[in-house]
Structure formats: C-alpha cells, structure tokens
A and B are shown apart, each in its own frame.
Chain A
C-alpha cells in the first residue's frame, strides 16, 4: 500500500512544519498571500489540528500589493484566528521608494529584502517558513529544505549543509537563522491539484475576469490604483486576464485567460507553453539574477 504523489508531498511538508515547531524557539511563517502561501498555511493548520498554529504569520508589505490581496489576507487571518504581523519598511516609505519611480531592482531590495531582514531582526525569529519551490527557478533547484543563513541573513551556495533522509539539521548559533521551505518538492501543477483536491481558498486575482490593463514593457499590467501613472500613449483596456503569480502589481504581468475555476486553470497550465515566473520582471534584470538576490538575503 503506497501513498499517492500528493499524499507523499503532504506528509513530507507536515513533517517539516512540525519539526520546526519542535526544534526552534521562535519560528514564524512568511505569508505572501499567494497560492503557495495558501497551501503552506493549509498544511500547517493540518499539522497542528486541533491546536492553533504554534507560531505567528508575517506579511512583508511592500505597499504595492494588489488591493484584493490585502483584503484577502485580512479575511483569512480573521477566519482562521491567525496571529498575523504586518511589516513595512518605514525608511523606504519615508523615501517614497516604489517600483515605478525607482525600478524593480531597488524597490525589491528596499521594500522586500531589507524589510524582511528588519522584521526578522526586530522579532528575533530563528526560523522562517517560506513557500518557495525548487521547480520555480534554476538556482532554487539546489536550495535545501532547511536553508542556513548567517547573522547578516546571507546564503552561501557553496557552504550548504548536506541534507539526508528527513534528518534536518536544526542547530544554529545565536543570531543565525534558517529559512525553511516545506513546499520544496512541490511543482506548480502539484500546488494547483492540491488546491483543487482540498478546496483551498485563494485570492480571486488567480481567476480570469475582465480587468483594466495596459501594455508596458511586454507585460500586461493591471491598473490597480492611481499610482500606476498611465502615460498618454498607453490605452487602458478591459481584458479577460488572470495572474499566475502575485507580487507588486506594477511588476506582475497578467496573462490573457478564460480560466475562471481551479479546474480550468489546471487544464490551462497543462497546455501552457510558458513558465510561471515569466510574468515576473525581477528575475530578468540580469542572467543569474535570482541567485544574486538570494545571496543578499532575498527569500
């Protein structure tokens, strides 16, 4: 009698999540509101049922998320009675850092990477769950499940701890921390199948709907608020679109789609010719760009 692929992934993830709760003093779950976070949260709720989650959730808010994401976040926190912390880099806000004025690289660095480090330092978290998967990007393929970071939160690809069986090394010195990725072995399609099987609630932006968009740098950007600064030659059109990944709205391209249910999304994905991160502006700054960001402390 063997478990199915999805059951095995579920079992592995629950084991990882429980291990962190058992071995670390002050863990936190990074909640980015996206579908991977939704699955990770769902698995954590299963791991500790009927107890409450034995750790807090943290959302690093860049102040440029889609409005629907923020509304969804607050709804979920209420529904599951979650202990949710929201952190914003006040320094960045003071300097008016944003993706449109400062470009994706600086914006991501200040409002995401630096903000995350600030939050981890502020609350002295020793372990932080993230929803990243190995299939997302080439440099992620080598990431450990328990990814060790030094006191400066840096990741050294040449100095990672070997990970055998499910015997994760949770030992760290004071001030150091680990990033833990319970969904390491899940693929995008696995995530969607699990959402389908478990009927997990996700942000409506994943489903196709007529939305006001403009075309800019080959991305279809949704006009989520006035800050987008629509130029005269850019025409706002209402198109049937959805999002494959969710980030800061001026950096996240929509795709044209008619998929209005999880089933339709799965079929669309199976027939798709483009990868999920394609809609992300930040990966393409330069070759090997994700690897560089990770060394600097990006999730």
Chain B
C-alpha cells in the first residue's frame, strides 16, 4: 500500500449528505442498518449489543435486526419508533456519507424539513408491494420545497414481490407522473431488498433484468454542484475581528461566488464601497476564496461594519435590500401561527422582529392543493408575505440557500417555531420612505408641558379596566394633563368594527390599537388603553413599539368568578349558555401578565383608590 497516496485519497474524499424518506414499514431503518453494516462501518461490540437488543426488541426472530443498529433513543427502541432527526455516518473508498434519518410518523413534515435543509440527495423509499402512496407524494414535495435536486427512488422489498420486473417498471412510471410537479436535476430508480442486501452495495443475481448501478454506486456518482463561480460574491459578516489597533477583519462564511484580492466590494446594509485588501482562510493568507469557505477579509479603507451586514460585489443583482418579502413557510409548533403576531426572524447573521402580514394559502402536501387559510397549525406548509421591522439583505432561496432561508422564533419562550424559504422580495415598501418632520414628539411634549406615555390596562371582561381608566382620566384632567382614552368596546364600534373575536382577529385588534396609541403618544398625549388584550405576545408587541419608559402595563386583577358575578353587560351569562363564542376566560384564553408594571387588586380596593395608586405610580416615574 502506498501510504502517502492512501492518506491523500482518504483526506480528499468528497462528502455526500443524504436524507432518507420513508416510514417504518418501508424498511428505512433496515436500509440504513444495511448501509452501515455492508460498508463495514459497524463495530463488533455494536453488533454484539444489537444482537442482545434484537432478542429483546427485535422483529427478525433469531437474526440480527439491522434496524436496531440505528434506532436511537431508549424510549424509541421500546416503542419501535423513531422520534426525531438522527444523523448517521459511513464511508466508502470514494465518499464520506452523512445521513439525516427522519421518522415516518406524525411530526413528519417538521422533521423531514429539518433533515432536508442540510442534505444534497434524497433517497425516497417505496415499498414494492404498495407502490406510490400518499406519503411518497408528501416526501417528494418537501424534498423539492427544501431545494434538494437529486432524488434516488429506492423501490424496496423486491424480495417480497419475487423480484418482479413489471412491478418495478409500473412504480417507475407512476413516480415519473408525480415528477411533473417538480424541478429536479437528477432522478434514479433502483430495485432493492434492504433486508437481503440486493443492489445495495453490488448488483445481485435476483434482479438480472436490472442493468443499472447499485445504490451505493449511484450515490457515489451523483454530481453535486455547490459552487457556481459565475455567481456574484457575497459574504454575511459573522464576527468582527479586531486583534489589534491596526487589524480589523470581517469573519464569515462565503455564501456565493468567489472573491479575490483587490476586488471592489460594497456593503449591503451600511452602504460603503471599498476593495478587498487581504483574504485569510483557515490556513492563512489566500489570493482568492470561494463559496462555503470560512474566511476573514480585511478591507482597504477603515470602515465600521458590523455583524448583520453583508459584503458583496457590486454586480450582485440577486441580493436585494428589503423589509418585505414573499416566502414559503413550514410551521413547527403546537401553538398556531397567527398573522400580525410579533415573531423573531433569524437570518444568516442577524435577528429581526417582524410579522406574517398576509397568509396567501396553505398547501396540502398530499394533493398539492392550495387552501385558503387564516392560521397555520403544526406541520402546515404555506405561502405568505412577511414584513420586518427593519431592512435586511435577502436573496431568493433557489439561488442562495444561505441568504434565502430563515427560522422563526417565539419571542416569549425562545422556541424555534417555524422555518421559511424566501421566494422574492417585495419592493413596494422601499418606495415609501419615512419623512423626518421638523415638529416631533419632543417639541410637542414641550408645548404640552408633559411627558407623554401609554398606560395599558389589561384584564378580563368586567374586571374594572374601563371604570378605573375613566376615573384616572378625570384625575389627570383636573391637573391639566392632556389625555386620551382608547376603550376596547368603543374602538370596536369604528376602527375595528370589521374584526371578530377569533384569535387571529384579536391579534389584529391589538396591533391596530397599539399603532394608534403610538401615534397618540407621538402627538404628546398621556394615552390610556383599556383592552382585554388577552395574549402576552401582543402586549409585548405594543410595548416594543415604544421606547423604554413610555409604556406601562397595568394588570387589573379580578378573579374570573368575581367578574362573572359582576357581569355588568350580561356577557358571561351569554358565554356560559353558548350564545357567545370565543369569550375570554370561558372558551378563549387569558394569559396573566408576568411582569406588569402595576397590579391592581379590585377585591381589596375600590376604583377610586386604585386610580390613586396609578397617580402615585406615575409620580414615582416622574410622568406627572
């Protein structure tokens, strides 16, 4: 063995990332076990352990159950199902493979999208006994949506149909029909038996009529084109490297194209123009660098560029600055997505707040039908419009996965609740620019001789919000403070008369009032808002619209039983009888504030005393 050559070959192996799609019944775990076993990537002690476990949980009698080599967590092994995305590794003499293994039952869309986002090739398993099923359509749809361009259709369990050539061809024809919906670069079909090993590593006698390559040969020979040097250069700034006063570098991973020393570049957000002074790669100075390489760039001019910005060449027409765009969305949380709710959008190198403004339609992943919808549930896929609170540089996902993808985070609990792929930027917002007026909040406040703020009352219906707010406004009025009271019921008579009481409408109701209260504040008024505002995230959204010290959340704390006893408008009675739907506290939730600025207890104090408590509070905050 020529050692040097051997190590060179070993270190130069190419990487292929695979997603396996199929359910437990298709023999997916068995196929994966077979790939690991036949490529000799399983060690003796692991096989021994799988043998012990085969006796305990296995489905293959005395034989080793290959699926047990890969089924991960103990809870799953006992139930015989897989819960989440797991990663497997094996290598052949030509390639190193990383396999994202996703389960085939519920949560499928979420897990499969996760696995697909980092894969080059998808193996779609079809049970030869069953042919193309609804789930095959679903798998193919998600694979295409996430931009995987190479598909290998593995028609498995050929041993159970006597290696019948006609069955194989029938399934191929069926699948080709399905393919018309998609945009793939290559599709290959292979008859297999994962259980027996036919055509996995080498072609077998049992399928003499099949002249194509084995599964492994097919995977080894797929041409994955990752780097198109004709694409214009872009690199999101990930970290600013200031090792000393005379070194300022911008570190990041190149997201498209190629960069050379001396190239003229611009910055997308800060709008500077300069040229590349030096390029440092993982092994030191480089004269040029290309997509996927981690680099540190130094620039000719001393500029102040920060994380979140993007360095690109001027001819880059694909990357567009926008705060609104259209995108495909995969919803991943139990809690439904509601349009206009405030979410955090995580892009390549920055987090930006924003909302889904327009839910065009959701897509049925089994029939590919577009369905009109008002909210998204777990595992829904949809097409929608998104508005961010500030400009960002984006690209269509199909051209640039790095700058065209995002995940959505719940600002309340920090969970990852969705993922999206940008279709195109919506430019109309860039035509409306913000005019800076000469008379502003500060000058108006001065004239009014008062510090404007928003006092936001939240609480159940009948808790006493409006009564207290009314008394408070009178008290402020007598000490010459200019005020305005926005009352939930009153606003629903005009501005919000088109809205009902579903969760979606409640979110929009609060969004509009929050915006109006912001305008009132800008006008220099002490603004009182008396709205049930049942959801934490909308109250936070209202708070986030304003500056620190301008927003005070007042929780009018009255227990439900007490509100129901008072029932000033007879609404609880109607809700209990079923006459009134979506009533807060009865069949619609009220989320109690966790960090209210002031909590008013209506059981121990009367409205007059509580209004005085607010006056004292405002004095302590130096508002009045």
Chain A positions near chain B (C-beta within 8 angstroms) = 1-11, 14-15, 18-19, 21-22, 46-52, 134-135, 138-139, 141-142, 157-158, 160-167, 169, 171-173, 184-185, 187, 189-190, 193, 196-197, 263, 266, 272-275, 278, 287-288, 291
Chain B nearest CB, measured from A132 CB (Å): 12
> Which residues of the other chain, A, contact B226 by a CB distance below 8 angstroms?
2-3
Nearest CB of chain B from residue A13's CB, rounded to whole Å: 9
CB of A142 within 8 A of CB of B73, answer yes
The answer to whether B96 and A273 touch across the interface, beta carbons within 8 angstroms, is no
Q: How far is the CB of B143 from chain A (nearest CB, A)?
A: 14
Name the residue of chain A whose CB is nearest to the CB of B253. Answer: A15
Instruction: Tell me if B292 and A3 are in contact (CB < 8 A).
Output: yes
By a beta-carbon cutoff of 8 Å, the part of chain B in contact with chain A is 3, 7, 10-15, 43-46, 53, 70-75, 77, 83-89, 91, 95-96, 98, 110-111, 113-114, 117-118, 224-227, 229, 238-239, 241-243, 247, 251-253, 280, 282-283, 290, 292-294, 296, 307, 332, 344, 346-349, 351, 401-402, 405-407, 409, 414-416, 419
Contacts of A272 in B (CB 8 A): 43
Which residues of A sit under 8 angstroms from B414, Cβ to Cβ?
169, 171-173
Contacts of A22 in B (CB 8 A): 238-239, 307, 349
Which of these, B73, B347, B406, B407, contacts A139 with CB under 8 Å? B73
A48 vs B10: C-alpha distance when bound (angstroms): 28
| Most chain B CB neighbours (cut-off 10 Å) among A8, A184, A263 | A8
**A162–B72 contact, CB under 8 A?**
no
Distance in Å: Cβ of B262 to nearest Cβ of chain A: 20
Contacts of A197 in B (CB 8 A): 11
19 interchain pairs, CB-CB under 8 A? A8-B15, A9-B15, A11-B294, A14-B282, A18-B239, A18-B252, A134-B86, A139-B72, A141-B70, A141-B88, A142-B84, A142-B85, A167-B346, A167-B347, A173-B414, A263-B7, A273-B43, A287-B53, A287-B74
A171 x B86 contact (CB < 8 A): no
B11 lies within 8 A of A134 (CB): no
The minimal Cβ–Cβ distance linking A210 to chain B, given in whole angstroms, is: 25
Out of B89, B243, B307, name the residue touching A52 (CB < 8 Å): B243
Besides A2-B226, A141-B70, 7 other A-B contacts (C-beta < 8 A): A5-B95, A18-B252, A49-B296, A142-B84, A164-B114, A171-B351, A291-B74
B242–A51 CB distance below 8 A: yes
Min CB gap B397→A, angstroms: 10
Q: What distance in Å separates the Cβ of B7 from its nearest Cβ neighbour in chain A?
A: 7
Taking CB atoms, residues of chain A closer than 8 Å to B43 are 272-275, 278
Chain B residues, Cβ within 8 Å of A291:
73-74
Chain B residues with CB below 8 A from A11, complex form: 253, 282, 292-294
Chain B: minimal CB distance from A163 (Å): 6
Q: Given A46-B282, A167-B405, A14–B294 Cβ distance below 8 Å?
A: yes
State how many angstroms separate the Cβ of B416 from the closest Cβ of chain A: 4
Q: B111 to A165, Cβ gap below 8 A?
A: no
Within the complex, the shortest CB–CB distance from A277 to chain B, in Å, comes to 8
